[in-house]
Amino acid sequence: MLAITPAPSHGLLGRNLLRTSDLSISELESLLRLAIYLKARPLHEQHALLRSRTLAMLFEKPSLRTRVSFEVAMTQLGGETLFANGSEFLVGSRETPEDAARVLSRYVDAIVVRTHAHEPLERFADASSVPVINGLSALAHPCQSLADMLTIAERFGNIAGLRMCYLGDARNNVAASLAEAAVMLGATIHFASPTTHRPSEAFLAHLASLSRPGAARAFTDPVRAVRGADVLYTDVWTSMGEERYSERNDAMLRPYAVTDDLLSFAQPHAIFMHCLPAHRGEEVASGVIDGERSAVFDQAENRLHAQKALLVALLTDCKGMPL
Ligand code: CP
Ligand code: NVA
């Protein structure tokens, strides 16, 4: 019988990405290197990388950046996408997450899922035979964290040793993935929130296990948390699906709004980041998001480059590329 020698593969081929910490530190660094490499390559060199590949995108919640950046990424890499939103697809509503995943795995090469709860997404991913990417769940937003780290690396050259400060709802998906990525790459992160919105002790211990004790600290005083920071980051006070808490959140999180006054306690070179969409005049003043320290639109652009790297890494052997 003809012996077929499998092509050498790297460790990310065929994997899922549900949380940033599903990656090892060196895999996270490799993805960022690949994103920087692909961002610098002309489009005509990229359009065969995912030829004939199909990405399904199943979204229970609205999206602008995640949906469009994945669609454009696949188009520029020579592949195709198909999209279904909440009215057509809710993980686990018409059939079990496992049955839906097994069926879709027969049709497509990878699947991005945006869900409310994280647990059905885990069941879906466990049953899928093609890579499943978390496009935002209640627990995590790993794709956002890849773009965030790419943006910070571009601005500062190096991530290790930086101090980041996340203000507002420090228990949310974006905060969790940002914090995982930051400590994995050797930065420290301060969370600034009332005690009701601080990360759980279990999550802080998880962050310490990814890095070292003290890499993540929770503060109630926003000025103490911000002092000396290189990066200030916030997100909406009320995440999708939690609208019933919005009045309470508005009242409790007001002292953590990012204003020019609060920014003055950070390093003079500090940058402002936000995953977007932003609620101007709530978690961030318009002057800050439009100001010269704001990196938010570079961050949004980098969703495209970081996700291209992710798709290429999960779906190809990355021959000739820095992975
Ligand atoms: N930042 C982000 O995920 O944006 P969308 O909700 O528009 O996808
Ligand atoms: N925390 C926000 C992020 C949106 C990109 C939400 O879950 O709605």
> Could you identify the atom of ligand 1 that is nearest to the CA of residue 275?
1
- Residue 205: half-sphere exposure toward Cβ, Cα within 13 Å: 3
pLDDT at position 251 is 97
| Residue pair 55/108 in contact by the 8 Å Cβ criterion | yes
Ligand 2 centre and the CA of 144: distance in Å? 10
> Could you identify the atom of ligand 1 that is nearest to the CA of residue 135?
3
Ligand 2 centre and the CA of 173: distance in Å? 7
pLDDT at 1 exceeding the cut of 80: no
All structural domains of the chain with their residue ranges: 20-141+303-315, 144-299
CATH of the domain spanning 20-141+303-315? 3.40.50.1370
Catalytic residue among 141, 163, 190, 206: 141
pLDDT at position 308 is 98
- Report residue 51's pLDDT band, with 50, 70 and 90 as the boundaries: very high
Q: What is the average pLDDT across 92-117?
A: 94
Ligand 1 centre and the CA of 303: distance in Å? 9
The 10s digit of each residue's pLDDT in 232-251 is 999 999 999 999 999 999 99
Query: Which pTM was predicted?
Result: 0.96
Ligand 1 centre and the CA of 232: distance in Å? 19
pLDDT at position 9 is 66
- Rounded to 5°, angle at Cα 19 from 13 and 24: 55
Q: How far is CA 170 from CA 84, 85, 199, in A?
A: 30, 28, 6
Q: What is the average pLDDT across 89-100?
A: 86
> Could you identify the atom of ligand 2 that is nearest to the CA of residue 275?
5
Instruction: Round the average pLDDT of the chain to a whole number and report it.
Output: 95
- Is 318 a catalytic site residue? no
- Confirm whether 20-141+303-315 and 144-299 share one CATH topology: yes
pLDDT at 185 exceeding the cut of 50: yes
Nearest-CA residue for atom 3 of ligand 1: 66
The 10s digit of each residue's pLDDT in 11-41 is 999 999 999 999 999 999 999 999 999 999 9
- Is 275 a catalytic site residue? yes
CA distance 113 to 120: 10
Q: How far is CA 48 from CA 45, 69, 80, 196, in A?
A: 7, 18, 12, 49
Query: Cβ(82) to ligand 1 under 6 A?
Result: no
Token duo for residue 68: 């469009």
Q: What is the average pLDDT across 218-244?
A: 98
Q: Which helix (H) or strand (E) holds 67?
A: helix 65-76
Ligand 1 pocket test target in 66, 150, 236, 238 with most atoms within 8 Å of CB: 66
pLDDT at 193 exceeding the cut of 90: yes
Query: Cβ(172) to ligand 2 under 6 A?
Result: yes
For residue 193, which of 225, 164, 163 has the smallest C-alpha distance?
A: 225
Residues 144-299, CATH architecture: 3-Layer(aba) Sandwich (3.40)
| Residue pair 133/124 in contact by the 8 Å Cβ criterion | no
CA distance 178 to 20: 8
Considering the chain, what percentage of its residues have pLDDT values greater than 70?
97
- Is 303 a catalytic site residue? yes
